[in-house]
């Protein structure tokens, strides 16, 4: 191996490792945001309701339709189908998006935290 090839290979390997680490950190960040803000009331596991409904498979689900969970009429009649945009608005200010929801949560103000959380929730299927 010549002198120029070895440093270039080391640099490429380091860049790949950093890239992989960044992807893992982002994934962990969403899980951490969930744990810190949501896990007291919600489960990421299918069919496991707590004070709030399971968030497994929430992307693409119509609000107020998780089987076995009792929702307020406000949530059932909201007309929302959960996607990244609707979750972002809701997670920012639940009461502002669905007045009358029983989710008494002040919201997550950090756009980065909401993005990480929505990425995490998108993987729950």
Quick one: pLDDT band at residue 66, thresholds 50, 70, 90? very high
Q: Which fold has domain 5-122?
A: Cytochrome Bc1 Complex; Chain D, domain 2 (1.10.760)
3-state secondary structure 47-100: CCCCCCCCCCCCCCCECCCCCCCCCCHHHHCCCCECCHHHHHHHHHCHHHHCCC
Quick one: pLDDT band at residue 31, thresholds 50, 70, 90? very high
Residue 31: C-alpha distances to residues 47, 58, 71, 76, 120 (Å): 19, 15, 25, 27, 6
In terms of Cβ atoms closer than 10 Å to its own Cβ (0-12, 13-18, 19+), residue 26 is middle
Q: Which helix (H) or strand (E) holds 26?
A: helix 5-37
Tens of pLDDT, residue by residue over 91-110, are 999 999 999 999 999 999 99
Enumerate residues 6+ apart whose C-beta is below 8 A from 51. 40, 41, 42
The structure's pTM equals: 0.77
Mean per-residue pLDDT over the chain, rounded: 85
């Amino acid at each position: 191996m010549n002198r120029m090839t070895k440093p270039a290979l080391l640099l490429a390997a380091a860049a790949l490792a950093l890239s992989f680490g960044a992807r893992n950190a982002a994934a962990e960040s969403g899980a951490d945001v969930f744990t810190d803000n949501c896990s007291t009331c919600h489960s990421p596991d299918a069919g496991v309701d707590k004070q709030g409904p399971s968030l497994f498979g929430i992307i693409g689900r119509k609000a107020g339709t998780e089987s076995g969970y009792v929702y307020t009429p406000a949530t059932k009649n909201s007309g929302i189908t959960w996607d990244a945009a609707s979750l972002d608005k809701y997670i920012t200010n639940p009461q502002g998006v669905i007045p009358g929801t029983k989710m008494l949560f002040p919201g997550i103000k950090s756009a980065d935290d909401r993005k990480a959380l929505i990425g995490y929730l998108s993987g729950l299927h």
